[in-house]
Structure 1
Amino acid sequence: MYKMIQLPTFQDLIRNYKLTIKNRTDEESDCDPIVSSASSAYDYGACNSGIFGHDFSTASEDETVKTTVTVSRYPSQDANRQVLTSFVNVYEKLKGVTSANLGERFNKIAELGRNKFEDTFLIGIETSGKASSWETLHNFPICQQEEHTTHSIVTIFAIWNTTMGSSLLAMAWGVVRTGFFPAVIIMLAISGLCLYTTHVLLSVNKKHGIISSNFEVPELCRLLLGKWAEVMARIFSMIVLIGADIVYWILMSNFLYNFVSFVYDAFHGNSTEEMTNAVLCPKNIVLNLNTTYVFNPSMENSTFYNIWDLYSTVPVILAVIMFPLLNFKSPTFFTKFNSLGTISVTYLLIFVAIKSFSWGPHMQSWSEEWTLKATFPSLTGMLSMSYFIHNIIITIMRHNRHQEKNGRDLTIAFSLITFTYLFIGVVFYVGFPLAKTCIEDNLLNNFSKRDTLTLISRLLLLFQLFTVFPLITYMLRQDILTNLNGIFKLDSTFGYTKIMCINFVVVLTCIMFACFLPRIGTLIRYTGALSGLVYIFLLPSLLQMASLKKDDRLTAPKAIFYCCIIVIGSLNLFSQFFISDTQ
């Protein structure tokens, strides 16, 4: 039986051989990571599922292996034999290479292959019986060209939906901290810069990346910059995840608190104590944070509100509800609710539009809105988190059906993201009827818990976060276990004991922040500035300079330009320590 098999780049071939040797060396290590089953690899689009099954067995370990004949795209059989002979010669150079020294020789051999052969080719042999090492290496379907099945419109909305997070609720607060017109300019500038650095990552990956479903920025950093850059990328990717978990926990506690309080007041005759359509200014009304939505001072002494406290008991009660959902081996069930993200964002846009248009414009002096406030880094740090998609953009764009239109689709997606943030922040800011300083970092806090539209928003967002939080925690847990296994060679089999320990630490961290630092604006700006420095400003610039240097195209003006991008990210981070949220 003859069948066409397209072999990928020579660098991919050597990479797979490296994995094969590593498998033989680490036979006693765990072979069933949390998401490394064959089904999981297939679900995530892995092209290596034929290599890494449940037991990490390889074709070289099988008793019989049948290799198929392929038809070459080269016109002559002599050319085929010449290509095959050349690869056999390179394979001979690999004899005696162990997992210890393969890493040192890998780049030299891969570079030799990159210069000597075309990127893709077809070769074929026919044999039966026990496969030799070369035949095993040849016949692995290591990284066959992945199918690009996602339409452009799906890719665009995938990027949009992924970036829409908790910063939506804090965008108007960021405008307050910056000034109206400077905020608009900064939003557009940061959006353009993030779009550019994202495009840089895609360009560098297209030129130097390896065709693989799990090849992302950390692997690209290791290839071009070294192990230190890979470690940095992985660490700050985890920082983004734990930051998202903390912010989501604070929001879930807030939404749960307000919903239960609404139900309690409705059943106990306290509904007249708040106006349904009231616009609140918690900074002026409330001196005690624990009484944030309570107008009647006597109510704070009631037994219910002594127990049901937003900054002490509610985060703990939420942990009792949420913790069992975090211990599933696979979060597949929660992925079924991904569409809720689009629904929630769409509803929030409608909510802000209805409220703002019902209020009408409330701007005292347009000329004063041109002043750039000293606290503007609050917005720049927050926007670094708002536009953050750099750690998964390669995976998202890899599945785009029209690869030649990646740049266009990415630009459209960022334009849509920018419009969404501008609409939420600007429209709410212009229409807000009270003093602009009353706007909270969670804009829903400016409304009564009895407001119908606000109640729907909180319930919708609460349910969405209930499904998103386990997914984020799962990815964080996976990264932690993967990194620990890589550093300490630990057993990475799924075990409820270690999973529960990791989840306990994550939940405990979230509870501590929800009780003692429940300011999502502060958390978003610090997390965004820190992780943004690495993923948005530093790594894309270093990767681009490394790529240009390999091609002898790195000039002084280009180096200065990319260094300026790094300086911008550094200033964005350092400025966060010189401003206060009470200013």
Structure 2
Amino acid sequence: DLIRNYKLIIKEKNQQSDSDSERQSSTSSPDLYSSDCGEPMIFEQEICFSDSECDIENSQNRTSNKQKRQNKLENARKKQLSYNSITMKNDDYLFEKLDQSLLNEVVSENSKLLSTRLIKNNSQSSFINFETTDSPKNSSLVTIFAIWNTTVGSSLLAMAWGMGKAGLFPGIVINLIVMTICLYTAYVLLKVKEKHGPIGENFEVPELCRLLIGRWAEQVSKVFSLVILIGSDIVYYILMSNFLYNFVVFIYGYFNEVGNHNPNADTVQCPKEILVVNKTHLVQSVVPSTPFYTIWNLYSTVPLILAVIMFPLLNMKSPTFFTKFNSLGIVSISYLIIFVAVKSFVWGVHLDDWSGEFHIKSTFCVLSGTLTMSYFIHNIIVSIMMQNKHQKSNGRDLTIAFILVSFTYLFLGAAFYIAFPLKKTCIEDNLLNNFSKQDVMALIARVLLFFQLFTVFPFVTYMLRGEIMSCIKLIFGKERHGEFSYTKTIIININIVFICLMFACFLPKIGTLIRYTGALSGLIYVFVMPSLLKMASLRKENSLTFTKGFLHVGLIILGALNLISQFFME
């Protein structure tokens, strides 16, 4: 079979060559095969089918090119030996006798001539599949920290608040359970892509759904990817408004309220006791009635001013400039962890009733919804892991990354919850709100997070805009709907900013937004689609059993219950 496939490649190559190469091929073809022996002489002598091949033969002294060819051949041999249909002993003999430069040149020149049947049905054919794309460059360590940096986000600020909703020890258990489920479903997506996705191509969840489930599943996946992106934009906008407000108030108070500014004062506060809750919005009763505080209002003017600042940046055709500041994410998250560690050490342990922390609270579903968002990386996990240099270690690297993420959440959430000196019900969904504007360490955290979100928000909006155009094209089936134009960009950006502005003014509760967004998008990306893809893959391999189907259907039901329960939590 191997010889027959290479004869097919050579024949198709000769048909597409010019008249000179055809004459050369016809001249040398009688010598290719010997009538006295059963083996083709292509394995016994070196032959150049074209000038480019001859050039490669003459430049074999170049160490780098030779090493690449040897690596490709070695990978091909490993893949070849893995197929049950061609495990005969003479395969090793063919590979040993095959001239390396000729093999690699023929494959690289004629990879586009291969039929779809030979590429996709590799389990029924002995032909070797080679990846023509560039090899991944990221080491396992870089891949692990890329997953950690991408996964750990704004929900880190709400982790202690979530612990308070579930109880300390039940919260730790729920954290580990949700982490395990999200890790498993992310690994399922990687294995399904590995088995059924095209080699070397980026196939995320929507493409895998179209391939194995149907077009309807692709459309559902794309729609719910919009939910996770718009939810992220809203949360980022609320946090930016909060950080900008507190930073300006700190500067104003430092220069204009010298007598009232006391850096040594107790900076821990309980916002629930100083805020009057209205049915429509929150009113700060302790804010001085000065012209400055009338103009600089957290729930009206600040979000509006932020919209004026951000809107021009959102209309850029490409947000590549903002990707240069990705390192701010690691800096801000690292500082936040140090900040909580220092504050917890200074406060000490403030947990009087340890036995009560073993009982699960009725609002524990608040934490499960929040954690579904916290561990959400399923819409881009395939792209991240494709850049891993060690593809065989994807499962190990993914597991290590999720363990690091879980440790980060547990450390920050549990440490802050245990050490918080006031009533645990005072813990805010944004833990920085528990510190006064005079706290310098909290101010630094706010500034770092503000600049991080200031660079992330345009990039997320760019992805959201692209997904919206992609969904429009998918629904209406016209290519022109997905093309870039400044008119479409401005219209979409106006709607996005308006939605974010309304939430920042009337519902500035990131905990509520995170848990609803996480439960809704997680239902599709964490529970439903990975389970359906896994069952479709097992069915295609004729290995779907009742037990496996029951377990994956149970995952879907669990995700649905997680979403439904959010509507019953106060």
Match for residue 433 of structure 1 among 418, 421, 427: 421
Q: 1:493 to 1:375 in 2, by over 3 A?
A: same
Q: Give how far 1:285 is off.
A: 2.2
Rounded Cα–Cα distance in structure 2 between residues aligned with 1:549 and 1:218 = 19
* Residue 254 of structure 1: aligned partner: 242
SS at match of 2:276: coil
Q: How does 1:57-206 map to 2 (within 5 A)?
A: 75=94, 113-118=121-126, 120-121=128-129, 144-206=132-194
Rounded Cα–Cα distance in structure 2 between residues aligned with 1:301 and 1:273 = 17
Rounded Cα–Cα distance in structure 1 between residues aligned with 2:201 and 2:260 = 57
Match for residue 254 of structure 2 among 266, 275, 278: 266
* Residue 281 of structure 1: aligned partner: 270
**Correspondence 1:555 to 2:545:** yes
Which 5+ residue runs of structure 2 have no aligned equivalent? 10-49, 57-68, 77-90
SS at match of 1:287: strand
* Residue 375 of structure 2: aligned partner: 387
Rounded Cα–Cα distance in structure 2 between residues aligned with 1:461 and 1:380 = 25
Q: 1:537 to 1:121 in 2, by over 3 A?
A: closer
Q: 1:68 to 1:563 in 2, by over 3 A?
A: farther
Rounded Cα–Cα distance in structure 2 between residues aligned with 1:90 and 1:308 = 66
Q: For residues 271-304 of structure 1, what are the alpha-carbon distances to aligned partners after superposition, in whole Å with 9 as ceiling and x for unaligned?
A: 6167644211011122267554x7xx4x542221
Rounded Cα–Cα distance in structure 2 between residues aligned with 1:185 and 1:537 = 19
* Residue 415 of structure 1: aligned partner: 403
**Correspondence 1:481 to 2:481:** no
Q: 1:174 to 1:542 in 2, by over 3 A?
A: same
Which 5+ residue runs of structure 1 have no aligned equivalent? 1-5, 11-65, 92-108, 123-142
**Correspondence 1:225 to 2:213:** yes
Rounded Cα–Cα distance in structure 2 between residues aligned with 1:207 and 1:568 = 27
* Residue 15 of structure 2: aligned partner: none
Q: For residues 93-139 of structure 1, what are the alpha-carbon distances to aligned partners after superposition, in whole Å with 9 as ceiling and x for unaligned?
A: xxxxxxxxxxxxxxxx68984454246347xxxxxxxxxxxxxxxxx
Q: Give how far 1:212 is off.
A: 4.1
Q: For residues 378-430 of structure 1, what are the alpha-carbon distances to aligned partners after superposition, in whole Å with 9 as ceiling and x for unaligned?
A: 00000000000011101100110111111111111001000000011000000
Q: How does 1:301-380 map to 2 (within 5 A)?
A: 301-380=289-368
Q: For residues 439-488 of structure 1, what are the alpha-carbon distances to aligned partners after superposition, in whole Å with 9 as ceiling and x for unaligned?
A: 00000000011101000000000000000001100111111112212332
**Correspondence 1:497 to 2:487:** yes
Q: Give how far 1:262 is off.
A: 1.1
Rounded Cα–Cα distance in structure 1 between residues aligned with 2:490 and 2:434 = 37
Q: 1:451 to 1:256 in 2, by over 3 A?
A: same
Rounded Cα–Cα distance in structure 2 between residues aligned with 1:236 and 1:335 = 24
**Correspondence 1:424 to 2:424:** no
Q: 1:271 to 1:470 in 2, by over 3 A?
A: farther
Rounded Cα–Cα distance in structure 2 between residues aligned with 1:161 and 1:367 = 35
Deviates more, 1:265-274 or 1:347-356: 265-274
Rounded Cα–Cα distance in structure 2 between residues aligned with 1:263 and 1:558 = 60
SS at match of 2:260: helix
SS at match of 2:538: helix
Choose 1 or 2 for highest CA Rg.
Answer: 2
Residues 265 and 271, structure 1, Cα contact 8 Å, conserved in 2: no
Residues 291 and 300, structure 1, Cα contact 8 Å, conserved in 2: no
Q: Give how far 1:518 is off.
A: 0.6
Rounded Cα–Cα distance in structure 2 between residues aligned with 1:440 and 1:156 = 30
Q: 1:272 to 1:381 in 2, by over 3 A?
A: same
Q: For residues 472-514 of structure 1, what are the alpha-carbon distances to aligned partners after superposition, in whole Å with 9 as ceiling and x for unaligned?
A: 0011111111221233213444321211111111000000111
Match for residue 242 of structure 1 among 222, 226, 230: 230
Q: What amino acid is the match of 1:487?
A: I
Rounded Cα–Cα distance in structure 2 between residues aligned with 1:67 and 1:364 = 83
Residues 202 and 382, structure 2, Cα contact 8 Å, conserved in 1: no
Q: How does 1:32-47 map to 2 (within 5 A)?
A: none
* Residue 43 of structure 1: aligned partner: none
Q: Give how far 1:193 is off.
A: 1.0
Rounded Cα–Cα distance in structure 1 between residues aligned with 2:132 and 2:517 = 37
Q: 1:278 to 1:90 in 2, by over 3 A?
A: closer
Q: 1:271 to 1:323 in 2, by over 3 A?
A: farther
* Residue 506 of structure 2: aligned partner: 516
Q: Give how far 1:146 is off.
A: 3.7
Residues 276 and 448, structure 1, Cα contact 8 Å, conserved in 2: no
Residues 118 and 125, structure 2, Cα contact 8 Å, conserved in 1: no
Rounded Cα–Cα distance in structure 1 between residues aligned with 2:541 and 2:403 = 32
Rounded Cα–Cα distance in structure 2 between residues aligned with 1:436 and 1:146 = 52
Q: What amino acid is the match of 1:479?
A: E
Match for residue 525 of structure 1 among 504, 515, 520: 515
Q: For residues 516-539 of structure 1, what are the alpha-carbon distances to aligned partners after superposition, in whole Å with 9 as ceiling and x for unaligned?
A: 111000000000000111111111
Deviates more, 1:274-283 or 1:463-472: 274-283
**Correspondence 1:542 to 2:550:** no
Residues 356 and 431, structure 1, Cα contact 8 Å, conserved in 2: yes
SS at match of 1:301: coil
Q: Give how far 1:257 is off.
A: 0.6
Residues 245 and 510, structure 1, Cα contact 8 Å, conserved in 2: yes
Rounded Cα–Cα distance in structure 1 between residues aligned with 2:471 and 2:544 = 33
Q: 1:90 to 1:350 in 2, by over 3 A?
A: closer
Q: Structure 1 vs Structure 2: percent identity of aligned residues? A: 55
Q: 1:550 to 1:119 in 2, by over 3 A?
A: farther
Residues 253 and 261, structure 2, Cα contact 8 Å, conserved in 1: no
Q: For residues 330-358 of structure 1, what are the alpha-carbon distances to aligned partners after superposition, in whole Å with 9 as ceiling and x for unaligned?
A: 11110000011011110000000000110
Rounded Cα–Cα distance in structure 1 between residues aligned with 2:132 and 2:463 = 26
Rounded Cα–Cα distance in structure 1 between residues aligned with 2:322 and 2:115 = 47
Rounded Cα–Cα distance in structure 2 between residues aligned with 1:178 and 1:378 = 8
Residues 290 and 310, structure 1, Cα contact 8 Å, conserved in 2: no
Residues 163 and 387, structure 1, Cα contact 8 Å, conserved in 2: yes
* Residue 572 of structure 1: aligned partner: 562
Rounded Cα–Cα distance in structure 2 between residues aligned with 1:506 and 1:352 = 33
TM-score by length of 1: 0.76
